[in-house]
Structure 1
Amino acid sequence: MDNTILLDLITKKMPFGKYKNTLICDIPEHYLIWFKRKGFPEGKLGIWLESMYEIKLNGLTYLLDELRKRNL
Structure 2
Amino acid sequence: MNPEDLERLVTLRMPFGKYEGTLIADLPGPYLAWFAREGFPDGQIGRLLALMHEIDHNGLGGLLDPLRQRP
Under TM normalisation by the shorter chain, which class is it?
Answer: over 0.9
The alignment of Structure 1 onto Structure 2 pairs a total of residues equal to 71
When you count helix as a share of all residues, which structure comes out higher?
A: 1
Unaligned runs of 5+ in 1: none
Alignment partner, residue 2 of structure 1 = 2
- Structure 1 distance, partners of 2:58, 2:33, is 13
SS class of match (2:10):
helix
Report percent identity of matched pairs.
52
- Structure 2 distance, partners of 1:44, 1:28, is 19
TM, length-normalised to structure 2: 0.95
Alignment partner, residue 23 of structure 1 = 23
Unaligned runs of 5+ in 2: none
The runs of 4+ residues in structure 1 deviating greater than 3 Å are none
Deviation at 1:3, TM superposition (A): 1.2
- Structure 1 distance, partners of 2:47, 2:17, is 17
